Each structure stands twice: as structure tokens, then as C-alpha cells.
């Protein structure tokens, strides 16, 4: 939350806007888009995998689709971890992003 990291007071939100979803195979997709952290926007490609599909145990006729995005970004590309945190011996440049997603649809 500090100024050297996310400066949450000045930049309370991060956002991702997809521009294209590219199918690689039946279980894997690439989600192209723009990731904004602080005041920096970068084009990124996020790998997305289908993790499973089941019938909802409580909502008859509803299917749950599980997805996951698992990737890394370079924090310095977005101005995160500046000042005394800039030395990569303290905090690495590569930051893992793990986003589990659950979608519901009617059968």
C-alpha cells in the first residue's frame, strides 16, 4: 500500500481489459489485453487454462466451469517496488499472478 509499492492511496484500482481471446487447444487459451497498475498500462498476454467442468451441487441445471490464469509480470515495468525496494536482492522483479475463476451457466 505504501508509495514505494502500490501507492494505494493515489491508485486504489488495478485493471485488466481483454482485447482478444485466442484458443490454443481445447483446454488452453491466451487472453490478450491491457494491464494497468498505478499509472502504467502495458500490453500483456495471460495464459488461461480450463481446470474442470461439473454440475453445480446446489443449483440444479447449472454447470460450473473452472478456469485459472497463472503467469508472472515484471513489477518494475509498472513502477512497483521503487525507492529502497528497487534492489532485486530484497524483492525479485518477477511477481507471480494466480487468478482462479469460476463461471456458472445454465445447462
* pLDDT tens string 19-78: 999 999 999 999 999 999 888 999 999 999 999 999 998 989 999 999 999 999 998 898
**Domain 15-106 class in CATH:** mainly beta
Which H or E run includes 36?
A: strand 28-37
In DSSP terms, 47 is beta-bridged to 30
Burial 18-40 (b: 16+ CB within 10 A, else e): eeeeeeeeeeebebebebebbee
pLDDT of residue 84: 66
pTM to 2 decimal places: 0.80
Amino acid at each position: 500500500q505504501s508509495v514505494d509499492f502500490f501507492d494505494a492511496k493515489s491508485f486504489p484500482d488495478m485493471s485488466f481489459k481483454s482485447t482478444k481471446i485466442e484458443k490454443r487447444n481445447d483446454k488452453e487459451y491466451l487472453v490478450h489485453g491491457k494491464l494497468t497498475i498505478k499509472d502504467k498500462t502495458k500490453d500483456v498476454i495471460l495464459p488461461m487454462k480450463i481446470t474442470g467442468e461439473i454440475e453445480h451441487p446446489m443449483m440444479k441445471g447449472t454447470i460450473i466451469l473452472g478456469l485459472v490464469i497463472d503467469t508472472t509480470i515484471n513489477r518494475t515495468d509498472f513502477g512497483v517496488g521503487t525507492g529502497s525496494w528497487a534492489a532485486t536482492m530484497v524483492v525479485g522483479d518477477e511477481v507471480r499472478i494466480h487468478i482462479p475463476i469460476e463461471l456458472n451457466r445454465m445447462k
